Amino acid sequence: MYNDTMANLIQKQKHFYRSGATRPYEYRLRQLKKLRDVLVAYEKQVIEALKKDLNKSEFEAYSTEIGIAYEELSFTIKHLRSWMAPRKAKTALTHFGSKGRIIPEPYGTTLIIAPWNYPFQLAVSPLIGALAAGNTVVMKPSELTPTMSALLSEMLGSVYEEEYIAVVEGGPDVSQELLAQPVDYIFFTGSVNVGKIVMQAAAKQLIPLTLELGGKSPCIVHADAPLKLAARRIVFGKFTNAGQTCIAPDYLLVHRSVKNELIAYIQESIKEFYGPNPLSNPSYGRIVSEKHFQRLASFLQDGTVASGGRTAPDHLTIEPTMLDQVTWDMPVMQEEIFGPILPIIEYDRIQEAIDMINDRPKPLALYLFTREPEIEDTVVDSVSYGGGCINDTLMHIATPYLPFGGVGESGMGAYHGQGSFDTFTHYKSVLKQTNLFDFTFRYPSSKNGLKYLRKLFKP
Ligand code: NAD
């Protein structure tokens, strides 16, 4: 698609938005139900596309992509009416006689740019929020998962006109052409580096935006943690989708006294979940591209391999791997890993772990395994991060009651549940004044104006 056709598409959507069609509750509800119907109708193709692009098993496809989208949809359908209702605001003494309202208003035409790692869920979840909030949507899926990209285009194209929802396929060039358009909101999920490009493009036109980015998310295992359980939950969080999860535990910070025991339990869980030879397990995810595979394979030289470490270059697979004796200056600790490699760093006092995290950009997620409430409070209160779990991994993303997002370098803004509606909504404040009387003390001609003002606005 060339620039002028993109401009046309945006103009078409703006025109449709201005007609007011997308705003009524009934319209939004109908479109969300239509989305649910089309997702159900295409469920089999979605599972096949995820298998083809990322070798996702049906179990993973349902638990981490389709199921989450369904949950988000039913939650939104259930609560939409109450979210849309204008809220009354209190009246200040200075505004006696007037009424205040806060009116949820759609932004208008929105742009959603999605990544490849959960190519269905991370495109559909923001779409649900955007539609619920009454916007039109241009969606650009990732070019690295081409089967899903084409499927989203076909699936959404089969039920929606492009003046309401359009899928534009392509890579960075297409993405940048879209970012040059005067859309009303941008929702981007992807890497920190591209996030900076997106924010610069948005700044040129002062377009409000959400950035769902990544980074290195730590997982702390304290001396008192229930180690066997912790190991299972860490293996679940790290090796789902072969580690290609934005909130996967990137590295472990383990109390020195329990490191060896934890490593043994993690090895046990890997065997239990993926069998003795994960490389030939058909349910174990593959790395998205040759380039990504090479980058990950190079990390295997860092530290010493505590378990795993083998690769199958012909089908882009890397064994679930733990790296011991790792230091911060090694390449594996210099960037987000985004693959099935888990480096381990030891600490003696919890403050050391906290300092190591606080010396670096604010993480998207943080996980802590401990039984001690005091340790829990110390970590939660002294580290800033997007969100996370105590005694678990990943699960905070899968509930519509917790807004999900990053802070600082890991992103800005949050979504899921009502958070998605809020993200795609501008809350407009409106004051309605009474015509029954008029306080004249505010006018410059008022005799005792200043006296009254001093009474009303006191320090
Ligand atoms: P990416 O930043 O490379 O790509 C994301 C999207 O941006 C794609 O649609 C891509 O086509 C587009 N893009 C790529 N280069 C661009 C450019 N120069 N200009 C404009 N657009 C461009 O990210 P990815 O590799 O698809 O995803 C992995 C990253 O995303 C990881 O860092 C991960 O942590 C992060 N992520 C974050 C979340 C979250 O919810 N916070 C979820 C998934 C992934």
Return the sign of the alpha-carbon dihedral for residues 190, 281, 147, 68.
negative
What residues flank ligand 1, with Cβ below 6 Å?
113-117, 122, 140, 142-143, 171-172, 175-176, 189-191, 194, 197, 212-214, 246, 336, 338, 364, 406, 411
Enter the DSSP assignment of 83. Answer: H
CA distance linking residue 274 with residue 117, whole number of Å: 20
The answer on pLDDT for 449 being more than 90 is no
Q: How high is the pLDDT of residue 3?
A: 58
Confidence label for 94 from pLDDT (cuts 50, 70 and 90): confident
Mean pLDDT, residues 25-50: 98
Quick: pLDDT tens for 125-149.
999 999 999 999 999 999 999 999 9
CA distance 184 to 425: 11
pTM of structure: 0.95
The one catalytic residue in 212, 319, 336, 409 is 212
- Closest by CA to 243, choosing from 287, 181, 189, is 287
For residue range 202-234, what is the model confidence (pLDDT) as tens digits? 999 999 999 999 999 999 999 999 999 999 999
Its sign, for the CA torsion 236, 237, 240, 242, is negative
Task: Name the CATH architecture for the domain at 6-213+411-428.
Answer: 3-Layer(aba) Sandwich (3.40)
pLDDT, tens digit, for every residue of 48-82?
A: 999 999 999 999 999 999 999 999 999 999 999 99
C-alpha 210 to ligand 1 mean position (Å):
13
212 annotated active-site: yes
Residue 193's pLDDT is 97
What number does the ligand 1 atom closest to the CA of 215 have?
34
Centre of ligand 1 from the C-alpha of residue 269, in Å: 30
Q: Is 101 helix (H, G, I), strand (E, B) or coil?
A: strand
Q: What percent of the chain has pLDDT over 90?
A: 93
Distance from Cα 191 to the centre of ligand 1, integer Å: 4
Residue 458's pLDDT is 87
Q: Whose CA is nearest to atom 18 of ligand 1?
A: 172
Task: Calculate helix-pair angle for 146-157, 43-54, nearest 10 degrees.
Answer: 160
Mean pLDDT of the chain: 96
SS (H, E, C) 350-369: HHHHHHHHHCCCCCCEEEEE
Do the beta carbons of residue 6 and residue 177 sit within 8 Å?
yes
246 labelled catalytic: yes
Q: What kind of fold does domain 218-405 have according to CATH?
A: Aldehyde Dehydrogenase; Chain A, domain 2 (3.40.309)
Report the residue among 194, 292, 397 best suited for mutation to probe ligand 1: largest number of ligand atoms under 8 A from its CB. 194
Cα–ligand 1 centroid distance for 112 (angstroms)? 11
CA atoms within 13 A on the CB side of 357: 30
Pocket test for ligand 1, best of 72, 117, 152, 291 (most atoms within 8 A of CB): 117
User: Using one digit for the tens of pLDDT, what is the confidence trace for 230-265?
Assistant: 999 999 999 999 999 999 999 999 999 999 999 999
| Greatest pairwise CA separation for the chain in angstroms | 89
What pLDDT score does 250 carry?
98
- Phi, psi at 55, each rounded to 5°: 55, 35
Token output for 408: 């600082």
pLDDT beyond 70 at 2: no
What are the residue boundaries of the structural domains of the chain, listed by start?
6-213+411-428, 218-405
Contact 89, 101 (CB under 8 A): yes
The dihedral formed by the CA atoms of 188, 189, 195 and 198, expressed in degrees to the nearest 10: -20
What tens digit of pLDDT does each residue of 268-284 get?
999 999 999 999 999 89
Residue 116 Cα to ligand 1 midpoint, Å, equals 7
Point out the ligand 1 atom lying closest to the alpha carbon of residue 410.
Answer: 41
